[in-house]
Chains A and B, each alone.
Chain A
Amino acid sequence: MTTVETPPTAPPRKAATVTRPGDRIFSGLSRGAGILLLVVMAAIAVFLTVRAVSAISKDHGNFLTTFEWTPSLNPPVFGIAVLAYGTVVSSIIAMLIAVPISLGIALFITHYAPRRLGGIIAYVIDLLAAVPSIVYGLWGALFLVPHLKGLNLWLDDYLSWTVIFHKSDPNSAARSLLTVGILLAIMILPIITNVSREVINQVPKMHQEAALALGATRWEVIRLSVLPFARSGVISASMLGLGRALGETMAVATVLSASPVLSAHILDPVGGTFSQNIVAKFGEADEFGRDALIASGLVLFVITLLVNGAARLIIARRKEYSGANA
């Protein structure tokens, strides 16, 4: 073994750095934008937390388990049980309906439809995304509610034994969590479809050819190479949709007949959601009432964070197998 002797070197001289004004200005601007975001987020968080804590500390009911929302009583009693339940249940219904349909549309556009038909469908989906939510709300209240009555009665007749589809008063209007869920499903369909379609379009042709060359049918190609590759992207797309469903305000407020009742029967016209409750109560609320509403908004924020975190976990767990390292 011979060792190579390193010649004594002069201490490394600092490279002469030329600072260009353009670089400086741009780095300053982009840094500023980054810092601004953090400051705004912090300001919102502090604002929400301070106001929420001051309201919750004066609550004479249990904030998490109380059904009623009556912060104007003396002593004030309010809780989020009904709101959290209604928000989660209507969003679950929306997801159960929207995710499979969206995935179906996305696969149809990318793999089954003739190119021109696919383009038309994609355009219509984009239109659906451009409809303002209050319009969905009006359509829901004036069209969906009366027309879902029949479906409600049918579900009550045949599936009443499941408890979920039991309708306490068959004559009541379909201003229920189920109707809200269906309306939300239509509203989140475009975003889930569009993002899924983008992701599915990214599936490399060579993986699909690999499946084809093994003698896979069209469905088997999708199952072997398209769906596994697009899986994490479709989950992300669904989470975007879920985020919208959780926070949707006007459409829910227009359709749902709100009342502080927590019912397992999703056909009953009772319940509420966070944002529906806020928009319904904000106008008439006094200072304290507003703080109470802010507290409920904070809970919605936390729920959304948890859902996003869970989605990230699901995606990360199978990272090793994801298409990203192909």
Chain B
Amino acid sequence: MAKRIDVSGLSAFYGTHRAIDDISMTVEPRSVTAFIGPSGCGKSTFLRTLNRMHEVTPGGRVEGKVMLDDENLYGSSVDPVTVRRTVGMVFQRPNPFPTMSIYDNVAAGLRLNGVRKKGELDSIVEKSLKGANLWNEVKDRLNKPGSGLSGGQQQRLCIARAIAVEPQVLLMDEPCSALDPISTLAIEDLIGELKTRFTIVIVTHNMQQAARVSDRTAFFNLAGVGQPGKLIEIDDTERIFSNPSVQATEDYISGRFG
């Protein structure tokens, strides 16, 4: 199930612009790793290289290696479509398919994977919605459109949709930044439960959130506008927030910039 991510020497480009430069890190299975850093430091770009979503952007290009256990995601024979079926993603703004019911949203990924049997779909949809702490709120209206839910519910629906296909890794790109505090709390609780089953990587602008949910924290920074983003350090969350080894991290954490 959950797999280890091992990144080495990874750079990502938009056309000729180098957005992130030479990043190496290891993400342990069944843990939560948070990416923090000022805007434009490339943390979202880096996240999107982990499921090969970066290259979807026109001009997007990646150099380096991302190992998922012992498979290189950027190997020449690897199909990006297959990568995205094993590395799930949740986005900044909740994006359930507006034309689909709640049920069909969760079933969408399963159907792409060729699951057709009604009984099997039913049980996985229920399990995923329960896994996303949404089942009790929607079990009576599974056939209603997903876009009718509140923002927080929609985001949990997106999480249910992502975990329905049992990915190895779950990437979350600022999943709470469009949500109110109550919904944010619900998602944070959920992350705590999900890490027993998945490897989770979360990008967040909220340092308290990083401190609350993550086991490890990576700090990204950039030297200036137009400069590529770099990984400054990655360490246990407790250590990053109490006694980081780099001065820039300390400055960012304590609110001196960013």
- Taking Cβ atoms with an 8 Å cutoff, the residues of A that contact B are 115, 204, 206-207, 209-217, 220, 224-225, 228-229, 231, 318, 320-323, 325-326
A206 and B91 contact, CB distance less than 8 A? yes
A220 and B98 contact, CB distance less than 8 A? no
Taking the complex as formed, is B134 at the interface, i.e. its CB lies under 8 A from any CB of chain A?
no
Minimum C-beta distance from A207 to chain B (A): 6
Taking the complex as formed, is B158 at the interface, i.e. its CB lies under 8 A from any CB of chain A?
yes
* Cα–Cα, bound, A173→B93 (Å): 61
B112 and A220 contact, CB distance less than 8 A? yes
Given contacts A212-B53, A215-B84, contact A326 B98 (CB under 8 A): yes
Given contacts A220-B112, A228-B97, contact A210 B81 (CB under 8 A): no
Chain B positions 79 through 96: 1 when the CB is less than 8 Å from some CB of chain A, otherwise 0: 001111110110101011
* Cα–Cα, bound, A228→B98 (Å): 9
Given contacts A209-B91, A215-B112, contact A326 B147 (CB under 8 A): yes
Contact partners of B53 in chain A: CB under 8 A = 209, 212-213
A216 and B81 contact, CB distance less than 8 A? yes
Contact of A228 among B56, B89, B100, B165 (CB under 8 A): B100
Chain B positions 42 through 71: 1 when the CB is less than 8 Å from some CB of chain A, otherwise 0: 000000000101001010000000000000
- Taking Cβ atoms with an 8 Å cutoff, the residues of B that contact A are 51, 53, 56, 58, 81-86, 88-89, 91, 93, 95-101, 108-109, 112-113, 145, 147-148, 158, 161-162, 165
Q: A215-B109, A215-B112 are in contact. List 15 more A-B contacts (CB 8 A).
A: A209-B56, A209-B95, A210-B96, A210-B97, A213-B84, A214-B85, A214-B112, A215-B82, A215-B165, A228-B97, A320-B148, A321-B98, A322-B99, A326-B98, A326-B147
Can you name 24 A-B pairs with beta carbons within 8 Å? Answer: A206-B91, A206-B93, A206-B95, A207-B97, A210-B158, A211-B97, A213-B91, A214-B88, A214-B109, A215-B84, A215-B86, A216-B81, A224-B112, A228-B100, A229-B98, A231-B99, A318-B99, A320-B145, A321-B99, A322-B99, A323-B99, A325-B145, A325-B148, A326-B98
B84 and A214 contact, CB distance less than 8 A? yes
Given contacts A209-B91, A210-B95, A323-B98, contact A215 B81 (CB under 8 A): yes
* Cα–Cα, bound, A325→B147 (Å): 7
Minimum C-beta distance from A274 to chain B (A): 37
* Cα–Cα, bound, A225→B174 (Å): 22
* Cα–Cα, bound, A217→B98 (Å): 19
* Chain B, Cβ-Cβ closest to A218: B81
Minimum C-beta distance from B154 to chain A (A): 10
A322 and B112 contact, CB distance less than 8 A? no
Given contacts A212-B84, A214-B85, A220-B112, contact A225 B97 (CB under 8 A): yes
Minimum C-beta distance from A316 to chain B (A): 15
* Cα–Cα, bound, A270→B197 (Å): 71
Contact partners of B161 in chain A: CB under 8 A = 210, 214
Contact partners of A224 in chain B: CB under 8 A = 97, 108, 112
6 residue pairs, one from A and one from B, having the closest CB atoms: A215-B85, A228-B99, A326-B98, A213-B89, A214-B109, A215-B84
* Cα–Cα, bound, A229→B97 (Å): 9
Given contacts A229-B99, A321-B99, contact A212 B56 (CB under 8 A): yes
Minimum C-beta distance from A320 to chain B (A): 6
A214 and B98 contact, CB distance less than 8 A? no
Minimum C-beta distance from B239 to chain A (A): 32
B98 and A207 contact, CB distance less than 8 A? yes
Minimum C-beta distance from B28 to chain A (A): 23
A321 and B93 contact, CB distance less than 8 A? no
Contact partners of B99 in chain A: CB under 8 A = 228-229, 231, 318, 321-323
Minimum C-beta distance from B148 to chain A (A): 8
* Chain A, Cβ-Cβ closest to B52: A212
* Cα–Cα, bound, A210→B99 (Å): 13
Contact partners of A213 in chain B: CB under 8 A = 51, 53, 84, 88-89, 91, 162
* Chain B, Cβ-Cβ closest to A326: B98
Minimum C-beta distance from B59 to chain A (A): 11
Contact partners of B84 in chain A: CB under 8 A = 212-216
Minimum C-beta distance from B117 to chain A (A): 19
